[in-house]
Every structure is written in structure tokens, then in C-alpha cells.
Structure 1
Amino acid sequence: MEALFIFIAKSSGLLMLFYFAYYFLLRKDTFFNSNRWFLLAGLISSIVLPLIIYTKIVWVDPTPVASFSQFTNYPQMNAPQSVAIESFTINWDYVMFAVYVIGFIAFLIKFGIDFYSLNLVLKGKKVQQQADFKFVDINENIAPFSYFDYIVYNSSMYSASELENIVEHEKVHSEQNHTIDVLISRVFCVLFWFNPIMWLYKKAILQNLEFIADSEAAKKISDKKAYQYTLLKITTHESCVAITNHFYQSLIKKRIVMLNKNQSKKWNYLKFYAIIPALVAFVLIFQIETIAQEKKEIKEVSEKKQEIDIYKIKKSTTDQELKEITEKLKQNHNVEVVISEVKRNSDNELTAIKVDIEQGTGEAQTIQIEGNNPIKSCGIIVTTDNGRKKINVVTDGAIDKPIVIENRTFETKVTQSNDVAGLAPTPPTPPTPPAFPTGPMPTPPVPDLSGLPKPPTPPVNHNDKAAMKKFEKEMADFEKKMEAFEPDMSAYEKEVDEIMEKRSAIFDKEMEKYEIAMESFNSDMEKYNQYMEQQYGANSQQYRTDMKLYDVNMKQHAQEMKQYEKEMKQREKEMKQQEKEMKNREKKSKQS
């Protein structure tokens, strides 16, 4: 509960900060569009900034704990026991919260009633579509207003020139989406209904929107004075819709003053930056939370680090690769390795090899494999544990008994598995997803729609019988041309559908094969992970390296699948785009 009240208090403070900055610094300037974004930024900041908290930790010395002997030196006395008396108290936090909720619900209901009133005004009215605007001519004595792309007015109340001025004004509201600003300000009034600054803030937003519309409309109207007379003609109406942009407001005088005011100088833009120091001060004062923590003794624990380096020798290892192995062992681990008695079969596969290993400490090891068949995998493992190196030679079981050479000691490991002990098998490789079949597509009847017939433009004055008759004749010709074009378009769509169905069938079969391959890959990968975890342990360097490789492969697979989905959506979008453009052209012709 306390956190909610703190949030409301901080938000209200930010609203006051932005409002006073606008009122004292910006409201008399002609930067109307910049003022619009400044006021909206104030609303957003009042919600976002109180949620951003920076935590600062201050380390303090631990508080000494008093020993038991400190308390035993005092004589014990019989202290009188106090009896708690229950009394009724009012929790003012709950009272204030209840008041806030009641007000919130009341204004939310009022908001809903305004939407209902707007729906009653528009319900059942004839809508005339012209370009991006929807004009609604009503009989009620309601102030002209705009609501998104709707422009509503009573044409019987104004002359043709006055109506033109009104429409130009409302078009600016519609084109610049001023309805969004109105709705946002109303939502904030519902949230902060108790704050009088919020209602002044909303009034400033609506006033600035009118300045914007007046300024832009005056640029398009040749007679600027006539526009001002239109503002003065009617200053009161029977009613208006609350959640819309009204042509007539109770600030006619201010609007006329702003229309005739000279453009503000560019250096006045510096006033917008005056809010930045105040916001920084707000964050530094209210949004930094200091937390005190006691210092703790930190004991250094030396963590054992174990590194494993593997040099694998397979039947396909070349003489050059054997040479590189000896050089790397000498360079990386100061280990002398001599490879001799190398024999190969007709396929250039190793059938016999002898490996002598000698460390700087004098310890030596030897592994020797002989036979007529290709050797199984063998190798050299160098384990570094806290700077101490341990070297092992391993084989797949080609040695039947240990070998003693002269007086040197050596160690040989023999395993019966298919993998070299301590040597990781090669991780499985994920399959490559199939690509969607591509190829040439049929050429549309009208590639760029420039060859389509263009619908005629309706006359401005619908009471002009001659103009309306001409328009009806042009519409009839346009509809005939569109009907003649439809068979070619239908044939093109059918041809494209057939091609895409065939390609989709081929791709679906390839995807089935790919899914089976992925299941096999996942199964192999699971076995590989189990082997690596048993062989090295989950904390070993080799296991972590292989798991990173697996993650890279799976991320690559996910990226490939996303790319595939993106390509499919793009193809579908391209197909729908032509169909949409055709339908829009036909729809506009019908609406006209």
C-alpha cells in the first residue's frame, strides 16, 4: 500500500514539473508540434521514471555482538508487567485507498459514457468516404469534431466557405492523429483524478492541439481573416462529444492571438532543455536507494583447474599430421615424442605404429601396435592439474600384453570399447533443413497496376445534376473495364496457386525427411552427452567445450528454421499484396 502511495506521489510531482515548465517557458512560443511531444513525454515520464530505481550498496563494518557476560553484571530486579489495552484505530491508508478507488471507478464510468455518447452520434449516419477521411453530416446541433479519420459536422449551420474552413481544421486533427493525445490525456485524468494539475495538463494538451490545427489549416486557406471570423461566429453550442477534437473551444481569443503571432526565434528551443536538470535531480534524490551491508571476511579458496589436451591418432592420420602432433607436444607441454615403425596398407591406412614418450622428469611411456589390419584409434592424453602434467597413452585393445623396452618404465591402458578411453568421439552433426523450391513465377496481367483503369473522381457538389450524371457515366465505363480485367486476373491466380501447391508438396516431403533426421540427431546427441559426462564429468573442460559446440549447432538450427519461416511469410505476403491492391482498387471504386 505504501509503495502505491509513493508511486502516485512521485508521478504527481513529475506531472507538476512538466506542466509548470510548459506554462512558464513554452506556452507562448509557436513551436506547437514540439510542445505536443514535450507534453506527451511528460505523461510517459511520470509513469516510467518512478519505476526506475538504482540500488547503491554501502559497506559498513559489522556491528559487534555483546557477550552474555555483559548482561550478567547487572542485578536482576522484578520489573512491573504492563497489560496491553485494545483500542479501535482507523487505518487511514485503507481509507485513502478506498477513496481513490471510488473516484477511479467513477471517472472510468464517465469515460465509458463518453464513448457511448460518441457511438450514438455516429450510429446510423451516412458516411461519405473521400481519400483518407470519412465525412459524417448530422442534423444535431453539435460542435464539429474529428475522431481518428471521422470528421463530423452539421452543414446546415454554416456557409460553404465556413464549412471549408472547418473541414480543413478537422483534417489536420485527423492526419496528425490528435485523437490519440486526447485519449491518453483522458486516461491519465482517470488515473490521477485527485490531482488538479492533471486536469490543467489535459487542458494544455487540448489547447496546443487546437493551435497546431489552426496553424496548419491557415497555411492551406487563402483568406486568413475569413478563418478567424469562422472562429468568432459561434462560440457556444448545445453539446459536444468529450473524447473528440472540437472545432469550437472556450479559448477562441487565444487561438486568434496565436494565429497572428510571429514565429518564435530558434534560440527559444533551448527552453526545452531546461527540464533535463530537474529530471536528473529527481532521479538523484528520489530514485537512488541506498542499502547498507555488513562487510564479511572473504577467504580465498584455490579452485583446482584441470585441463585436458588430446592428440588422437587414427588409421587415416597422415605422416604430416603425425609430425605436427610431435611438434605440438614439444611446444605446448615440453614432451619428447618419437613416432617410428610406421606401416601402411595399400589404402594408405595405418597398420602398425610405435610411439615413444619421454617427459622432462625422466618418466617414459611406449605404445606399439602391429598387425595386418588397419589400427583402431589410439592417442596421447596430457592432463594438467594445478600445473602438474600427467601423460597417458591409450589404445582400443590392439595390444595383447604390455611391452618392455630396455630399462625404461611405461604405462599402457587397454580398453575393449569402440572409443578410445579418454578420447571423445566426434559429436554428431545436425542435418541441414531443406530450402523451399524456387523458380520462375508467371507474370501478372498488370505487374505494377499502372495499366489498371482508374476510378473517376466524384464531384464536390452532389446537387450538381450535370456533374453527377457525368460521374455516373464514367463509373459505368470504369466497372466495365474492371469486369473485362477480372478473367485474366483469375487465370493468373489459379496458375500461381497450382505452382505453389506443387512446390509445397515437394517441400513437405523434404521436411518429413528432415524431421526424421533431426530425431536421429537428437538421439545421437543424447548418447554423446551421456558418454561425455560419464567420461569427463559435467565440470570438465572438454565436456563444457563440447556442450558449447552443441549449443552453437542448435542455435544455428533455430536460425535456419526462423529464416525458413521468414521466407515462407515473405512469399505469402507477396502473393497477398497483389490481391490486396486489386481489392482496394475495386473497393475504392465502389465507395466512390
Structure 2
Amino acid sequence: MEALFIFIAKSSGLLVLFYCAYYFLLRKETFFNSSRWFLLAGLVTSIILPFLVYTQIVWIEPAPVQPMVTNTISALNYAQVSSQKIEKETFEINWNYILLAIYGIGFLALLIKFAIDFYSLSSVLKGKEVKQQADFKFVDIKENIAPFSYFDYIVYNSSMFTASELENIIEHEKVHSDQNHTLDVLISRVFCVLFWFNPIIWLYKKAILQNLEFIADNEAAKKISDKKAYQYTLLKITTHESCVAITNHFYQSLIKKRIVMLNKNQSKKRNYLKYYAIIPALVAFVFLFQIKTIAQEKERKEQNDIKEVTGKKDPVFVFKIHKNTTDQELKEMAEKLKKNHDIDVVISDVKRNAKKELTAIKVDIQKGTGEAQSMQVEGDEAIKTCGIVVTLENNGSKKIGLTTDGAIDKPMVIGNRVVEVRETNVADINTGNLTPPTPPIPPVFPTGPMPQAPPVDMSKMPKPPVAPADHKDKVAMAKFEKEIAEFEKKMEAFEPDMSAFEKQVDEIMSQREAIFEKEMAKYEIAMEKFNVDMDKFTQEVEQKYGKDSKLYEVNMKQYDKDMRQYEIEMKHHEKEMKQHEKELKKMEKESRKS
């Protein structure tokens, strides 16, 4: 519930911010279309921005663990006092539910009003004759209702106006219909239903509707020769106060402001910078309300399984593995060795008994391309403590070792467990006979100069005829078809040179495509051979050094890397082919234009 109230408060605050910016900076400017999108952007921002929260994490030192001290006397006194308390039934009012109920009542009432307005509109349009002209649907009614538009419908009572007045009204409503101003009206109504409790939203809606009228007046005045007659029409419509609520109606109570804006000079371009004044305010809103700071304690250093032995000549880090070490702890140990000491650790063949104790484990470690070590412990009973030892020497280098109860430098048997330490020099193996195959290089599409398009005298180029406005005019259409036939006949004189040019281009590109396809066929055969050689190499490594060896893992990673590179190259090739087709189409288009 608290989150809902916070969202409502933030959203209402953003609406206030945008409305104040419009009212004090923009409402007197003549950038009506820009103001339209500014006001709509304010509505969208008030809904989206409160959900965009940036989380900032602040790390703090962990609090020291204090021993728990029980104060027996205080506890006894508290028990005595508590036993003497008498429970009283109290009635508390939950204001959250009351506010929510009030909001629900208002929301439901306005939603019903919204539905009634739709019903009223449908009643006005129902059964009326509709005349379709271009993109508009004209409806002539008999009711005493101010003219209005609803999407592509333009509704008016022709008996109430003269021919010139009706022409002015229709030009005005055409602007509303053509620019889809009905959407703005409906969106503002929806926001009024959602935020009915906020008085600013009603002023916001009024500003949207008023700006839409400014747009329609401004555009209609450009098409009307007598601007004074248009203003008199505005004054005459004020006597018809009956309007349909969810439409763009010609009648508006602020006729004086509309006439003032009609006669106002165009605003200076530098005043357009006022729209950007909202940006610093939005940035301040984000920094003040949309940044959430979370404090987290740093991890305490583990004392049991990772120890730093000091007091010796060289520092020694011991990472212990005991019978109760969990899989998660083993994973964290490997991550810390990689992060703090740049040591790759692979833990495998982990087995546990019914008590979840470790009975078998294999550890492979390696630093860079140098010495690799492996330790494997197997048995039926829980393992004894073993681990990884990292020694930091005076020269800055690190020495890595595997150990159980003592240093192990050769295979040996402890109890019923076999402990094996194996050292392998990866660099020596890589320089031996087992060399991975090299993937082939993909071909590149051949390039080169292209023939020049033939010069064309544009002054001799015939101009295409213009189609008549009325397609139902048979005489005009017959004349147009005759002019088209003559135009095509004249254009045939330019075809030979263009056909020869296109033929040259097709021949050159066909030769290049043939060369490229031949090279691609060779490349695909080479890739098939590479895959076969790679499979053979992988089997040899697996047979000689084992599937769990470090070399096998490195080899498989390299193979995956090569295959990914192959996929990238094939995608690049496909992209080049598409670009090539695009350039051909562009060249053909330019040649036809010339």
C-alpha cells in the first residue's frame, strides 16, 4: 500500500512539474505542435519515470560480533511487569483502506461518466447518413449541437450556419481529424479518471484541449482567405453550448484566447529553448527521488578454511579441504584462487558417503602456461584434511603445492586411500607432436572498378504526366492514358544506352560471383577437413593424457573458440553478400534516375 501511495505522489509531482513548465513558459508561444507533444510527453513520463529506480550500493565494514549477555534481573522485572498488564481491546481505523475506498468510488464514478459519454456519442451518430469524401466522413445532423469531430467523423448541423461559416467550421474540424486529435482527448480523459483526486490533472487536460484548438485554428486560418470571417464564426458558435464530451468540438469557452492567438505574431526561434528547461528539473527529480541507496556489509574473512601463516621468511596461504567441505565452499575456494592468485583450479570426481562427507576428490591446478599439478584421493572412508598451499617468495613469484597431512611429492598410500600427485609441463606437451590443426581462412568477395553509367541529357528527358484529381472523370482519365503512352514511347529512346550499361554490370558481377563461389567451395572442403583433423587430434589427446587432463580442456576451449570464429566469419560473409546486393540495387536505381 505504501508503494502505491509513493507512486501516486511521484506521478502527481511530475504532472505538476510539466504543467508549471507549460503554463509559465510555453502557453503564450506559437509553437503549438511542439507544445502538443510536450504535454503528451509529460503524461507518459509521469507514468514511466517513477518505476525507473537506480540502486546504489554502499559497502560498509562489518559490525563486530558482540557476545550475548543476558541480564537476569531486567528479564525478571520485564516478566513481572508484563504479567500485570491487562489486555484491552482497541478499535483502530485503517486510513489506508478508507483512502483506497474513496479513490475507488471516484474512479468508478468517472468511469461510468466516461461510458455514458461514449453512449451519447453513439446515439448522435446512430442512424445518420454518412457522406464519405477523401479521408473524412461527414454527418449532417438536426440536433442543436456544436460542430465536432471524432477521428474521421465530422458532425455538424448545416441549417444553423451560412455556407461560408460552414466552410470555416469544416476546415477547422478537418485539422482535428487529420492530426488525430481525438487520441489526445481520450488520453487526457483516461488520466483524469486515474488521477481524479489531483486538481492539476484537470488543468492539464484543459491545457491539452486548448492547445489542440490553437493548432486547428492556426492551420485552418492558412487555408481560409477571410480571417475576420473565421473569427466571427468563432463568436457565433459560442451561443451553442451543447457539446459532446469526448470529441473535438468547435465550441470552446476561451474564445477570446483563441482569437488572440490567431492574431499573434510567430514566436522567435530562440524561444524554442524554453522546452529544454524541463530537463534540469527532471534530472533533479531523478537525483532526489529515483536513487535508492543500499548499505551492505563487506564479507568477513574466513578463518577456518583459508589461513595466512605469518612469522616465516615467506608468507604462506593455505586453502584447506576437509571431509565436511561443501560443494559451494569448493567453488568459492576455486574462485578466490583465481581472483587473488591467478591460479586455475578444476575440482572433479567428487564423491560423498551417506553422511555427506567427502570420500573422493580430484584437484587439478595450473598457473598460466607453466607447471600443472594434479591430486586425486579415493577411498571408502571420509578423507583426511588436504589442501592447496600458495607460497609468496621474496622475488614476488608464487609457488603452488598440493598437500594432505604433510608434503606429498610422490604417489603413496594412506590407510585405504590412494593419494597421487602428478606434475605435467604443459609447455613441453604443446611443443611435441600433438599440435592442433589450424582453421582455414575464408575467401573475400572480389572487388574492382565498375563501368561508368552513360551520360544523359536531362533537358531532353520527358516529364511524366500528372494523374487527374478525380479518377472517375472518364474524359480526363482517357487523356491521361494517352499522355502516359506518349511518355513511354519517348522513354524508349533512352533504353539502348541503359540496357548496354546494365549488361556490362551484370557480366562483371557474374564473373566475380563465379570466382567467389569457387573459392567458397574450396573453403567449405577445407573446413570439413579441419573438423576431421580436429576430431582426430582431440581423440589423440584424450587417449594419451586422459579426458580430465588440462591439455584436453585447453584444447576443447581452443576448438570452441575456432568454431565460434568460423560462425562469425560466415555471418560476416552473409553480411557482405547482402551489402553487395544492396549496392547493386542502389547502382541500378541511380542509373535509372540518370
1:315-334 correspondence runs (5 A): none
Contact 1:308 1:541 in 2 (8 A): no
When normalised by structure 1's length, the TM-score is: 0.57
Change beyond 3 A, Cα 1:529–1:264 = farther
Residue 118 of structure 2: aligned partner: 115
Residue 289 of structure 1: aligned partner: 292
Contact 1:140 1:154 in 2 (8 A): yes
1:58-69 correspondence runs (5 A): 58-68=58-68
Moved more, 297-306 or 186-195: 297-306
Between the aligned residues of both structures, percent identity stands at: 63
For 1:105 and 1:539, locate their aligned partners in 2 and report how far apart those are by CA, in whole Å: 69
C-alpha displacement of 1:42: 1.3
- Match of residue 302, structure 1, among 336, 341, 366: 341
For 1:250 and 1:528, locate their aligned partners in 2 and report how far apart those are by CA, in whole Å: 87
For 1:46 and 1:173, locate their aligned partners in 2 and report how far apart those are by CA, in whole Å: 26
For 2:556 and 2:340, locate their aligned partners in 1 and report how far apart those are by CA, in whole Å: 24
1:237-316 correspondence runs (5 A): 237=240, 239-297=242-300, 301-305=340-344
Contact 2:111 2:193 in 1 (8 A): yes
Could you tell me which runs of 5 or more consecutive residues in structure 2 were left unpaired when the two chains were aligned.
302-335, 345-366, 371-423, 443-462, 483-523, 582-594
Which residue identity does 1:41 align to in structure 2?
A: A
C-alpha displacement of 1:226: 0.3
C-alpha displacement of 1:474: 4.7
For 2:104 and 2:35, locate their aligned partners in 1 and report how far apart those are by CA, in whole Å: 32
Residue 167 of structure 2: aligned partner: 164
For 1:527 and 1:88, locate their aligned partners in 2 and report how far apart those are by CA, in whole Å: 79
C-alpha displacement of 1:452: 10
Contact 2:538 2:555 in 1 (8 A): no
1:156-555 correspondence runs (5 A): 156-237=159-240, 239-297=242-300, 301-305=340-344, 389-391=427-429, 454=467, 457=470, 474=475, 534=547, 540-554=553-567
For 1:160 and 1:170, locate their aligned partners in 2 and report how far apart those are by CA, in whole Å: 15
Q: Secondary structure at the match of 1:77?
A: helix
Change beyond 3 A, Cα 1:530–1:20 = farther
Change beyond 3 A, Cα 1:307–1:294 = closer
Residue 135 of structure 1: aligned partner: 138
Residue 331 of structure 1: aligned partner: none
Q: Secondary structure at the match of 1:241?
A: coil
Contact 1:15 1:197 in 2 (8 A): yes
Q: Secondary structure at the match of 1:215?
A: helix
For 1:499-549, what per-residue CA distance to the aligned partner results, in whole angstroms no more than 9, with x for missing partners? xxxxxxxxxxxxxxxxxx9xxx9xx89989997994667994443343244
How many residue pairs get aligned? The number is 413
Residue 35 of structure 1: aligned partner: 35
Residue 320 of structure 2: aligned partner: none
For 1:52 and 1:24, locate their aligned partners in 2 and report how far apart those are by CA, in whole Å: 28
Q: Secondary structure at the match of 1:301?
A: helix
Q: Secondary structure at the match of 1:4?
A: helix
Change beyond 3 A, Cα 1:472–1:60 = closer
Change beyond 3 A, Cα 1:273–1:238 = closer
Which residue identity does 1:67 align to in structure 2?
A: P
For 1:127 and 1:159, locate their aligned partners in 2 and report how far apart those are by CA, in whole Å: 19
C-alpha displacement of 1:231: 0.4
For 2:172 and 2:537, locate their aligned partners in 1 and report how far apart those are by CA, in whole Å: 70
Contact 2:58 2:294 in 1 (8 A): yes
Change beyond 3 A, Cα 1:74–1:244 = same
Residue 306 of structure 2: aligned partner: none
C-alpha displacement of 1:112: 3.5
Residue 357 of structure 2: aligned partner: none
Residue 24 of structure 1: aligned partner: 24
When normalised by structure 2's length, the TM-score is: 0.57
C-alpha displacement of 1:248: 1.1
**CA RMSD, 1 decimal:** 4.9
C-alpha displacement of 1:209: 0.9
Residue 5 of structure 1: aligned partner: 5
For 1:305-332, what per-residue CA distance to the aligned partner results, in whole angstroms no more than 9, with x for missing partners? 45669xxxxxxxxxxxxxxxxxxxxxxx
For 1:180 and 1:191, locate their aligned partners in 2 and report how far apart those are by CA, in whole Å: 17
For 1:547 and 1:230, locate their aligned partners in 2 and report how far apart those are by CA, in whole Å: 78
Which residue identity does 2:14 align to in structure 1?
A: L
Contact 1:141 1:237 in 2 (8 A): yes
C-alpha displacement of 1:95: 3.0
Change beyond 3 A, Cα 1:292–1:205 = same
For 1:337-360, what per-residue CA distance to the aligned partner results, in whole angstroms no more than 9, with x for missing partners? xxxxxxxxxxxxxxxxxxxxxxxx
Contact 1:453 1:478 in 2 (8 A): no
Q: Secondary structure at the match of 2:287?
A: helix
